[in-house]
Structure 1
Amino acid sequence: MIWFFVFMFILYAILIIALAFGFTKVYEFEAENLESKTSFSVIIPFRNEAKNLPQLLKSISLLNYPKELVDFIFVDDASSDDSVKVIEDILPNNKMSINVIENNRTSNSPKKDAITTAISIAKNNWIITTDADCVLPENWLNIFDSFIQTTNPKMVVAPVNYIAINNFLEQFQLLDFMSLQGTTIGGFGMGYPFMCNGANLAYKKSAFLKLNGFEGNNTIASGDDVFLFEKFLESNKESVKFLKSKEAVVVTFPVKTWNSLINQRVRWASKTSRFKDSKVKLIGLLVFLINLVILFSLFYFDNLLFIFLPITAKLIIDLFLFIPTINFYKHKKAFYKWYLFCSFFYPFFSVFIVFKSIFSKYNWKGRSFKK
């Protein structure tokens, strides 16, 4: 059994070090002094986001990009609060092209339906999706435009960051999310991209239509980003690129309760079994087994060395990827304060989420969904 544990940790170390090396291989893009040419339709599905929309709308008003080259399509997914009114109140004084439309539900996935509904009326060449609880950086569209003109992609994956207050719940989410962001960038650097985030994702409308959009996975409530991402990779992996730039970072916020976090993570975990690429599933299995080994060691062994060695080994191995990620996203202070505490808690949380995702439903935006 000990040798099995050692073998698992060797595989895990190889994976994390490879991702860390990949992270450094993705160069940090700097915008060139080019004339703005790319036309964007920014799609923002929302449901009961009246509290979050004002900060998003303010960031939209501050965007530094030619207004004639961008329009915003907000898709209302049966909101029961004042979300629509919040948007409509700013329209008379806003110079941006902003449309608010109703979601046309045709599948089990409200968000995929919302994006499809918006794309059907989108007038521009490039689609960008983001979320209603996000804040956009001032030069967001400028950096996308420069990157598109320079690299000629069909899909652009871009970074997402958290703003978290100084408590355990939010700092735990921050560090967990940073591990996902580091893994995303590292995968691109390894030449094996396998993750993305729909809060900051762009693609050609023509390519979306050619690939039949979300057809084939619209029975799954979540996954408006990763399953479409898989389609683009299958079609032409070289045309899918990561925009590593601090000017492209979209900011969002952690959830505020443990119940919301559990539902969110169960929703994310429920997508894993639907991935087409068996290597992605194996990576997920390896991470799960490492966390399971740590829990097993805590409760099975009575030798202190065997109890603490697995979690210490993981803590050290993870530093290889965490350090470059934390430096890029500028979270050094949170990292040094919370890393040890969060690392000890994570195996319990991770294993719990995996089992819960297998055996239970999850709630999302006031609705209950099966896996």
Structure 2
Amino acid sequence: MPDLTPGYIIFIALLLFTAVLLFYYFYFFLRLALFRPQKRNTTQQQPVSIIVCGKDEARNFARNIPGLIFQEYTSSHQILVVNDNSVDDSRFILQELNAKYGGLSILNLRQNAQHIPGKKYPLSMGIREAVHEILLLTDADCVPSTEHWLQKMQEPYADGADIVLGYGAYHKHPGLLNKLIRYETFHSALQYLSYALAGIPYMGVGRNLSYKKSLFLNNKGFSSINHLPGGDDDLFINKVANSKNTAIVIDPAAHTLSSPKTTWKEWKYQKTRHFSTSKYYKPKHKIILGLYSLSHFLFYFLVVACCIGFSGWVGLGILAGKSIIQQLIFARVMKQLNERDLRKWVLIMDLWMVLYYLLFAPMLIKKEKKTWN
């Protein structure tokens, strides 16, 4: 048995955390890389209520609502826009859109709910006003990537799903910040979509999410998280999703597109708000997510320590092997999610995620601000 020198201990630790990462790559992420949706000989169309909530979103309403109106969908569907106490021109913009195109149901809220911060109250009101059992949710700053979004997102209900998780992408622009935002969004989707395929769904994103109205009402809506400013998407799904009732749709025709933040300050504020809800996930989900993040975070430090204290060739060899496997799997998923241009950035962005953990891990213990837009 070799002596347990500090260098040897570092080497063993590196092997251990590398093995953990490879387990996630092969057991979880490879499922998404190889995912093929079920081929359908016939297409069934379910009645659907699309719900969009917005507060002071006049410009986004004018830009994005037409993308909902012009969906190619012949079955009955409702487009319900909840205008949450806006003080801009949202009400008039929505009236003009309805007069020009028709097809909108508009719910103008004129009072705020006491002690229910965030988006949950307007969304709850929208869900209760929805006329159809299947709900398809998106945000005011989102637009469907194609006119087939509605058709694609409702298809899994023919197979008995109660929840459908979609991908909410961001528009591609030049610049480093845009790539960082899109990679972090991809990395989040890589996890929640892969875990759902493995029978462990734990979240969805409100930019592109669908579930049944009865599921919402039977679980008393957001009552258990009404005191939190966020969580109308991820925490609700964390509560009600299971291995039997959840499906995913990753067809690029079913994506939504949003305008990403353009300054570091805006993006940091957005991620701070989103990141803080994860501490309310179920314990098993926190363990699965935490083990992956910890292994990801420690891996690069252990590679450096191994090169210094054990063997440079061994440390670099482990880094190379892990990186090649990661590149192959991630590149395949990026192709699936129409993020091909990010493939050459995988190693650099993987290093960036170490700094990302340092920046946002404190949000797990920080008190949330009670706003939603």
TM-score class, shorter: 0.7 to 0.9
Letter in structure 1 aligned against 2:17: M
Q: Structure 1 318/351 Cα, relative in aligned 2: closer, same or farther at 3 Å?
A: farther
**Superposed counterparts of 1:178-327, under 5 Å:** 178-233=186-241, 237-276=243-282, 278-293=283-298, 296=301, 303=308, 305=312, 315-327=323-335
CA-CA distance at 1:99 after TM superposition? 1.1
The verdict on how the C-alpha distance between 1:284 and 1:344 changes in structure 2, with shifts beyond 3 A counting, is same
Q: Name the SS for the 1:212 alignment partner.
A: coil
> CA offsets per residue over residues 179-234 of structure 1, 9 Å max, x none?
12222221122222223212111111122111111121221211111222133225
Q: Quick check: 1:182–1:321 contact (8 Å CA) kept in 2?
A: no
Unmatched runs of 5 consecutive residues or more in structure 2:
1-8
**Cα drift, residue 158 of structure 1:** 1.8
Residues 292 and 97 (structure 1 numbering): CA distance in 2 closer, same or farther, change over 3 Å? Answer: closer
Alignment CA distance shift 1:331-1:143 (3 Å): closer
2:28 counterpart of 1:19: yes
Q: Find the aligned partners of 1:283 and 1:111 in 2 and give their Cα distance.
A: 28
Would you say 1:89 and 2:89 are equivalent positions?
no
AA matched with 1:348 = L
Choose which of 64, 81, 99 in structure 2 pairs with 1:74: 81
Is the 2:94–2:106 Cα contact (8 Å) retained in structure 1? no
Q: Return the letter of the residue paired with 1:126.
A: I
The alpha-carbon distance between structure 1 residues 330 and 25, as it changes in their structure 2 partners (threshold 3 A), is closer
After TM superposition, give the deviation of residue 365 of structure 1 in Å: 4.8
CA contact (8 A) 2:118 2:228 kept: no
Change (3 A) 1:161 1:97: same
Is this contact kept in 1: 2:119–2:372, CA < 8 A? no
Identity within the alignment, % = 19
Question: For 1:310 and 1:279, how far apart are their aligned partners in 2?
Answer: 29
Normalising by the residue count of structure 1, what TM-score does the alignment of the two structures yield?
0.86
Whether contact under 8 Å (2:118, 2:372) holds in the other structure is no
Greater Cα offset, 109-118 or 16-25: 16-25
Q: Secondary structure at the match of 1:135?
A: strand
CA-to-aligned-CA distance 1:324-361 (integer Å, 9 cap, x gap): 2211122222332x334333322112221112442464
1:140 corresponds, among 149, 155, 159, to 149
Structure 1 residue 280, shift from structure 2 partner: 1.5
Equivalent residue, structure 2, for 1:65? 73
Tell whether the 8 Å contact from 1:266 to 1:357 is kept in structure 2 after alignment: no
Q: What amino acid sits opposite 2:278 in the alignment?
A: T
Between the aligned partners of 2:16 and 2:370, the Cα distance in structure 1 is 37
Determine which structure has more spread, i.e. the larger CA radius of gyration.
2
TM-superposed CA distance for 1:63, in Å, is: 0.9
Letter aligned with residue 157 of structure 2? I
CA–CA separation in structure 1 for the residues paired with 2:322 and 2:107: 47
Q: How far apart, CA to CA, are the structure 2 residues paired with 1:238 and 1:271?
A: 24
Note the alpha carbon deviations across 1:209-266, whole angstroms, 9 max, x for none.
11111121221211111222133225xx312211232322122232111112212222
Q: How big is the shift at 1:90?
A: 1.2
* CA distance 1:266–1:354, shift in 2 (3 Å): same
Structure 2 partner of 1:369: none
CA contact (8 A) 2:14 2:303 kept: no
Report the RMSD for the aligned CA atoms in angstroms. Answer: 2.8
Give the corresponding residue for 2:6.
none
1:96-142 Cα deviation digits (max 9, x unpaired): 13313216524433211111111222211211111011111201222
Q: Distance in 1 between matches of 2:21 and 2:99?
A: 55
Structure 1 residues 149-198: Cα deviation after superposition (integer angstroms, max 9, x where no partner): 2x121221122222120210011111111112222221122222223212
SS at match of 1:270: helix
Q: Which runs of 5+ in 1 are unaligned?
A: 367-371
